[in-house]
Copies of this chain bind each other. A is one copy, B any other.
Amino acid sequence: MVKIGILGVGTVGASVANILEQNADIIEARSGKKIVAVHGVVKNLSKDRGVNITLSDNPYDVVDNPEIDIVVELMGGVEEPYELVKRALANGKAVVTANKALLAYHRYELQELAGDLPLMYEASTAGGIPIIGALRNGLTANHIESIQGIMNGTCNYMLTKMIKEGVRYDDVLAEAQELGYAEADPTFDVGGFDAAHKLLILSSIAYGIDAKPEDILIEGIQNITQTDVDFAKEFGYEIKLLGIAKKVGSGVELRVHATMIPSESMIAKVDGVMNAVTVRGDRVGETMYYGPGAGGNATASAVIADIVDIVRGNSNPMLGYKKSLESGLKLLSRDEIRSHYYLRMSVDDKKGVLAEITQLLSRHDISIEAMMQKPDHDKDECVELLFIIHECSEKMIQDAIVALEALDVIHGKIGMIRIEQ
């Protein structure tokens, strides 16, 4: 019998305990052994968790418990679970974690500490979708050319509503909060930070890149307007919050931001709270993995898949490689990233303005692919100019935006959305 201890018995932890019990037949058939959750740790013991396991409020009841074979960490946070996972590994226990923040900051230390002990984390990224397994085991023949992921259900729900139903950002955020899809402070989701944690995990498996959230470009969906949505629809794009990892020469771009992508691409068709990750390998071409990115049962499904893998005796290297990965791949700075861009600006509705703007762009070596002028519904004396910009570097576009915003004829901030073809 294999005994499981669970740190954090919230929605996911309770699902893990209950599925292990309720689907014990099939889990034993597939793993070859009885797997039983025996102990859970919670902060507040007075709350009913709806599980048939012993509960206590001391995490060392699990990580120091000689009876327990596998520790499942579902606490959230970074430093406290880090200490506990280290302790569990030091005690010779296998660990399964769904904690993306922990991994975004400490995955390389953890890989080192784990050594030959299994440390698995399928549930950390894209919930119930077995994307870690696909990348770590299914695509090993490939140099990974790029990863594009819709890895935050809150943002995808909001963007779908904005594009498909024309609901404005503020209204759809309020609605998402009411439905429990968004927190009271939604920054972690709508600001792209949640997706960034997951992107960092995937990029380690694909590229062996050791970066932390503060090292990469992270933007959210807060500045998307109805004009952007209308433009995207008119030009055959969807707008998605994508986590993107891309190999360019011997560099790797890592970035999270709202992105215009062609409506006919598979990932553009992923609507609502669902998640999906597209991986392009140099040999296999494009594959995509789709499913629920959150929810107690879906996330617990991924946790238990890891437990079964451990019980079967599999020995996948934690971050996907046993010897050091491709040498010479380095994280590109934010300035070096290259993209196509969409720009939106509110300008004075008078003669010579367009010439002034296009001359400025030209002086910055920025070349215009398409331009459109629309009435500005918010300001009578203004029009909105919308540009699609040929591929250039992030440094070039950011410099140009600063210069443009300094012009008297341009009002307010310039809206910018990156375009992936």
Contacts and interface: CB of A to CB of B under 8 A. Distances in A.
B141 A130 contact: no
A194 to B, nearest CB: 20
Nearest to A25: B326
Contacts of A314: 137, 312, 314-316
A139 B301 contact: yes
Which among A128, A140, A291 has the highest number of chain B CB atoms within 10 Å?
A140
A142 B23 contact: yes
Interface in A303-349: 303-305, 308-309, 312-317, 320-326
B30 A320 contact: yes
Interface in A227-286: 266, 269-270, 281-286
A141 B322 contact: no
A127 to B, nearest CB: 8
Interface residues of A, number: 63
* Interface secondary structure of A, over-half rule: mixed
A277 to B, nearest CB: 11
Interface stretch (A87-95, A292-300, A354-362, A391-399): A292-300
**Chain copies in the assembled complex:** 2
A242 B125 CA distance: 29
Which among A122, A283, A295 has the highest number of chain B CB atoms within 10 Å?
A283
B321 A29 contact: yes
A137 to B, nearest CB: 6
Given A25-B326, A29-B321, A143-B26, A137 B286 contact: no
Contacts of A19: 141, 283
5 contacts: A15-B283, A19-B283, A29-B326, A137-B305, A312-B317
Given A19-B283, A284-B302, A314-B314, 4 more contacts: A130-B139, A133-B134, A141-B303, A266-B290
Interface of A: 15, 19, 23, 25-32, 122, 128-130, 133-134, 137-143, 266, 269-270, 281-292, 295, 297-298, 300-305, 308-309, 312-317, 320-326
